[in-house]
Each structure stands twice: as structure tokens, then as C-alpha cells.
Amino acid sequence: MAAFTTRDGTEIFYKDWGTGQPIVFHHGWPLSADDWDAQMLFFLNKGFRVVAHDRRGHGRSAQTDAGNEMDTYAADVAELAAHLDLRDAVHIGHSTGGGEVARYVAQHGKGRVAKAVLISAVPPVMVKTAANPGGLPIEVFDGLRTALVANRAQFYLDLPTGPFFGFNRPGAKVSEGAIRNWWRQGMMGGAKAHYDCIAAFSETDFTQDLKAIDVPTLIIHGDDDQIVPIGGAAMLSSKLVEAATLKVYPGGAHGLAVTATDQLNQDLLDFVGPAEVRQAAE
């Protein structure tokens, strides 16, 4: 099992496959690197080096009781990038991972990052405040914490069965495998880290990070995202990132890597590199 130990002694699991320009995938809460399997295999077969880690407290990484906040998450990524000597990398983040990408690129990625992608991402900030009147009430996130404490196993079954993949919508094609895989990944992680991470993804303000990003950035979001509503997320983020391109998936749910795999993979491939790089890889 590939892993490295951070400066504070936390063991971080990662996958590192292939050669060529690196693409680094950042997963959402409460999942793991496995959430990117379809994308990693796709880009590996196109000749890229693909990397994904389990965030501290998630998946196969150490079940930490501290450091479960965005500054430390981004610092862990910086240590991973240094450990693997990742340069000219494309960083792709989903949901909470999108926030992690924004903070890493803005604060640690200078000279190492070529491009960034935010998919169904939480920036600029999810929670409703006086400065962010369009956000979600804090009671929404308190409800997540209550459900996690009361019965984490059932909570992690309910989310993918319903709003995460949009399986609660009329006519939705439900995948039992996707639901079970989501539950499996969630239950691998630590309850304390997952509890803390709710505040990290909902209350962290990424406004200044987004303004500081100076590499080409693709922002992808479904307009039927029931987890991170597009109006308070991608629509605002795309105005804050100077070199941003916004792509909206009509009817798209939150878990686009699973529900719109082929379209997402192609859109990412179109964005990732110049045509000659893709042709050489193919």
C-alpha cells in the first residue's frame, strides 16, 4: 500500500499510476480516492500519470482526531506533491475536494500547477451568513452532524440512495452498485474526521483563494445539484476566478463522476491539455 507520513505524523494513503503529465484527483466528503476510479482508468489509458489520495480521516488514511480542516487538508496535498515531485499538474476536485483544490492551488501550488478543475464544488462558501445571504442555513449542516452521530451507517446509506446521485428524481436510473460503493467508502473513514469535515466544507470561505487562482480553471456543476446548489457555488465561483470557464450540466446531480461519467471524462480530456499531448498519449 502506497502511503507517506506528513510532518505531524499522519499517514496518508495514495494511488500513483502511470507516467507523463500528472492529474491529481481530490475526492468529496466522506469518500476516498476510489470515487475517482473511472476517471483514473480513463486518463491512465490516455497516457497520463494519475494520482489520488485519501484525505486524512478518510478511506485508508489515518483516522485523525485533529487537523480535519481545510488549511491542513491543503498542506497535506502540498506535502504529497513534494513527496511525489508533482509538477505541471492538473488538480481536479469534487465537492469538498474542490475546496481543497482551491486552497491548495492558491496557497501552495505556485510553480507546480498547470490547470485546475472544480466539479460540484463547495466554494466560495456554503453556509448562510450576513456576508453570504444566499447560502444554506446552518441548521442544514447541524442536521448532517446529528444524523452522523445518531446512525452513521444509515445516514451513509440514505445520502447516495437519494439526493447525492439524484436517484430520488422521477425517472432516475438507480444503480445499486453506486449506492453500495458510496456506503463502503464512507464507512472506511473515521467518524470524528467526518464530523469535523462538515464544518470544513460548509463554513470555510474560499473567496480569497478563488481570487488568487491564476491558472486556467474549469468549473463544472449540475443545475439539479441537491447537495451543493449551483446558485451559491459555481455561479459565484466562476466570477471570482479570473481564468475560469463555466460548464453547466442540465439536470445534473451532485455525483457527476458516476452519473455523467462519459460526458465528464470527455470534458476533462478536452480541457486538460493541448491536442498534441492527447494524440501522443493515444
- Which residues are identified as catalytic? 95, 225, 254
- Tell me the C-alpha distance between 226 and 207, whole Å: 22
The residue assigned the cell 511525489 is 84
CA dihedral for 38, 13, 90, 245, sign (positive or negative): positive
Residue 197: alpha-carbon gap to chain centroid: 13
CA distances to 61, 154, 226 from 162, rounded to whole Å, are 27, 12, 9
Cβ atoms of 264 and 256 closer than 8 Å: yes
Cβ burial of 235 (10 Å; 0-12, 13-18, 19+) is middle
For the chain, state the CA radius of gyration.
17
